Amino acid sequence: MKSFMMRGTKILATGSAVPDSSLSNHKMSEIVQTSDEWIFTRTGIKERRLLTGVNQSVADLAILASRKALDKISMNPQDIDLIILATSSPNDLFGSASQIQCKLGAINAVAFDLTAACSGFILGIVTASQFLQNGSYRNILVIGADVLSKWIDWSDRSTCILFGDAAGAAILQSCSKEDNSILEFQLNTDGNYSNHLSISYQEEINPHPILNLYQGSFKYVVMNGKEVYKFAVSQVPLSILKCLKSLNISVGDIDWLLLHQANERILKAVAEKLSISSSKIIANLSKYGNTSAASIPLALDEALQDKKISHNDIIVVSGFGAGLTWGTIIMQWKSY
């Protein structure tokens, strides 16, 4: 627990939403040259959900997930002080959080987007907990939502098989230090490797004829899969160990390992490196693929619905991805 903490953070409720439209590996093999066997053995993914239809955006999924979380505790949206939307696929580059604020009727909340790709939800929770622990705000809605299907090159079989669309939300509340659930965190970025996973902005060849100004647009997800794999498997265990050390607890104290749902092989390799039993891994990526910022809250919400997680369980939650940015939160789950 951070020594400067004045108050604690508790997680009151979670919610999640996925689109109805599902794309199986078999169907994928009609789109690019691949097979169910190739995808499943290398990633553990069987299917993913895609946000299809006209005028559907990340905000729609985020609103759905948020409403479910609010409904669980019958919270009035007007009681939310802050909304943090972790996303890398907004429908407005100025941010999508304000659309969510408006549609939820959270008229008293300030709202902003946070961009940290697949680590976005981790960064969102850590950011929110600072406001809660220093007493600035009482109720914060943190959403992880992404619709990377809109940013995928659907002819690139090395990336299009991996991602899916979803949203997950958590309502955090300021509480006494004794009830605090966010015990420790550890965050990292190494921009040297930002090119390993990006959706980069590409300028047109010719500038504006008078202004010498180059305009352009964002293209598609580009990834060096092997390097990202190596990065995750080497750095995530180190981050977890650092976090455990600063809390003065051991691997044996962990009840659940909740990693960003990128690839089943990564989940297993991290658990193996830390000698954590695979029965403690929370995984749902076979159904949804890598849903970027949504993956952690989606998996957490499902695990809670399945009643896997009990009061006072220690959950190690790690995110990793583009940036490259990665980080860990150690939570002690409190049931209300």
Judge contact between 319 and 119, C-beta under 8 A.
yes
Closest CB 20 distance from ligand COA, rounded Å: 24
Adjacent-strand bridge partners of 316: 257, 330
Judge contact between 314 and 256, C-beta under 8 A.
yes
Q: What is the DSSP letter of 296?
A: H
Closest CB 10 distance from ligand COA, rounded Å: 28
Helix (H) or strand (E) holding 245: helix 225-247
Cβ closest to ligand COA, residue 221 vs residue 330: 221
Q: Of the candidates 157, 242, 273, 334, which one interacts with ligand COA according to CB under 6 A?
A: 157
Judge contact between 78 and 107, C-beta under 8 A.
yes
x-or-dash string of contact with ligand COA, 268-287, rule CB under 6 A: --------------------
User: With contacts defined by CB under 6 A, how many residues of the chain interact with ligand COA?
Assistant: 18
Cβ closest to ligand COA, residue 66 vs residue 261: 261
Closest CB 118 distance from ligand COA, rounded Å: 4
Adjacent-strand bridge partners of 223: 197
228 contacts ligand COA (rule: CB under 6 A):
yes
Buried residues in 236-258 as b, exposed as e (16+ CB within 10 A)? bbebbbebbeebebeeeebebbb
30 contacts ligand COA (rule: CB under 6 A):
no
194 contacts ligand COA (rule: CB under 6 A):
no
Q: Of the candidates 2, 5, 21, 34, which one interacts with ligand COA according to CB under 6 A?
A: 34
Q: In angstroms, how far apart are the furthest CA atoms of the chain?
A: 65
Q: Of the candidates 229, 256, 288, 333, which one interacts with ligand COA according to CB under 6 A?
A: 229
Q: Of the candidates 2, 42, 67, 334, which one interacts with ligand COA according to CB under 6 A?
A: 42
Closest CB 255 distance from ligand COA, rounded Å: 24
Q: Which amino acid does the sequence have at 135? A: G
Q: Is it true that the peptide bond before 257 is cis, omega within 30 degrees of 0?
A: no
Is residue 200 classed as helix, strand or coil in its secondary structure? coil
Closest CB 12 distance from ligand COA, rounded Å: 28
Segment contacting ligand COA by CB under 6 A, of 44-52, 143-151, 226-234, 269-277 = 226-234
Torsion of CA 182, 293, 239, 279, to 10 degrees: 80
Helix (H) or strand (E) holding 85: strand 82-86
**Cα-based distances in Å from 305 to 15, 20, 287, 310:** 10, 19, 16, 11
Segment contacting ligand COA by CB under 6 A, of 70-78, 164-172, 223-231, 327-335 = 223-231
Q: Which residues bind ligand COA (CB under 6 A)?
A: 34, 38-39, 42-43, 118, 157-158, 161, 223, 225-226, 228-229, 262-263, 290, 321
